[in-house]
């Protein structure tokens, strides 16, 4: 089977990770979400804490991407990473990891600008997931054990952060229909039904049978 990638952008509480897991399981491929942090850390030799702090956050540093990236792999005598690391440098490293994974295997990526990073790969299907606010709040509350007000505040905060990150690195618009091949709400069909819908679309786009 020819290699392919399904990239999933998502609003908080829309079920992006869950739908991605369903798709990955049905296709027999790996899902990469937070796993990219550990993978990038392992392949770069940089402590995963740096990637966790920069995860889906746009750069706020003054260090240039090129300088940060070139010096990032080097550590000081104490074994700690030098302080030249910027979010831009970490994004560059993580981008290299995403491209390397896509070059060697079919996969499902959740977030991390994977659709933009792999924009020159013709074997990609780029999807954005949303859901009704009530469903999103319910999902967040069941996962976090918080109030509806806290869940709504979390939705607004995380979505704003994801949008800022995506827009900064891609120069595109997070969540805008024109940015993706398919935008779909998980509310009408549920997680399994949404996975069915995405797989049917992906099969047609990639001219494959799953």
pLDDT tens sequence across 138-167:
999 999 999 999 999 999 999 999 999 999
Query: What is the model's pLDDT at position 56?
Result: 62
The answer to the question of residue 197 being in a domain is: yes
* 1-5, 37-41, 83-87: range with lowest mean pLDDT: 83-87
Average pLDDT over residues 126-130: 98
The answer to the question of residue 170 being in a domain is: yes
The answer to the question of residue 80 being in a domain is: no
What Rg, from alpha-carbon coordinates, does the chain have?
Answer: 18
User: Which residues sit opposite 183 in a β-bridge?
Assistant: 128
Q: Which of 178, 16, 207 is nearest to 108 (CA)?
A: 16
Share of the chain above pLDDT 90, in %: 69
pLDDT band at residue 191 under the 50/70/90 scheme: very high
Query: What is the model's pLDDT at position 60?
Result: 53
Cα separation, 97 vs 43, whole angstroms: 8
The answer to the question of residue 49 being in a domain is: yes
pLDDT band at residue 68 under the 50/70/90 scheme: very low
The answer to the question of residue 185 being in a domain is: yes
Cα separation, 165 vs 112, whole angstroms: 9
User: Which residues sit opposite 7 in a β-bridge?
Assistant: 109, 126
pLDDT band at residue 185 under the 50/70/90 scheme: very high
- Planar angle of CA 28, 29, 35, nearest 5 degrees: 140
Give the number of domains in the chain: 1
pLDDT band at residue 84 under the 50/70/90 scheme: very low
- Give the domain range for residue 159: 5-68+85-206
Q: Cα torsion at 167, 107, 36, 162 (round to 10°)?
A: 20
Q: Quick check: pTM over 0.85?
A: no
Query: What is the model's pLDDT at position 74?
Result: 38
The answer to the question of residue 183 being in a domain is: yes
The answer to the question of residue 115 being in a domain is: yes
pLDDT tens sequence across 19-52:
999 999 999 999 998 877 777 777 777 777 777 7
pLDDT tens sequence across 87-127:
788 888 889 999 999 999 999 999 999 999 999 999 999 99
SS (H, E, C) the chain: CCCCEEEEEECCCCCHHHHHHHHHHHHCCEEECCHHHHHHHHHHCCCHHHHHHHCCCCCCCCCCHHHHHHHCCCECCCCCECCCCCHHHHHHHHHHHHHHHHHHCCEEEECCCHHHHCCCCCCEEEEEEECCHHHHHHHHHHHHCCCHHHHHHHHHHHHHHHHHHHHHHHCCCCCCHHHCCEEEECCCCHHHHHHHHHHHHHHHHHCCCC
The answer to the question of residue 76 being in a domain is: no
- What's the CATH number where 169 sits? 3.40.50.300
Asked whether the beta carbons of 208 and 200 are under 8 A apart, the reply is no
């Amino acid at each position: 089977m020819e290699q392919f990638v399904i990239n999933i952008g998502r609003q908080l509480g829309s079920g992006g990770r869950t739908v991605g897991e369903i798709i990955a399981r049905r296709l027999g491929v790996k899902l990469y979400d937070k796993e990219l942090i550990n993978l990038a850390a392992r392949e770069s030799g940089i402590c995963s804490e740096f990637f966790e702090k920069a995860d889906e956050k746009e750069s706020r540093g003054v260090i240039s991407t090129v300088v940060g990236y070139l010096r990032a792999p080097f550590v000081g005598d104490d074994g700690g990473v030098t302080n030249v690391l910027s979010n831009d440098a970490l994004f560059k490293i993580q981008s290299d990891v995403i491209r390397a994974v896509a070059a060697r295997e079919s996969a499902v990526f959740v977030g991390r600008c994977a659709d933009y990073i792999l924009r020159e790969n013709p074997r990609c299907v780029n999807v954005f997931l949303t859901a009704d606010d009530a469903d999103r709040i319910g999902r967040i509350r069941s996962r976090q054990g918080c109030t509806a007000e806290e869940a709504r505040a979390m939705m607004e905060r995380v979505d704003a952060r994801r949008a800022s990150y995506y827009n900064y690195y891609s120069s595109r618009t997070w969540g805008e229909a024109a940015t993706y091949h398919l935008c779909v709400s998980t509310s009408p069909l549920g997680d399994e039904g949404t996975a069915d819908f995405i797989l049917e679309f992906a099969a047609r786009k990639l001219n494959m049978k799953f």
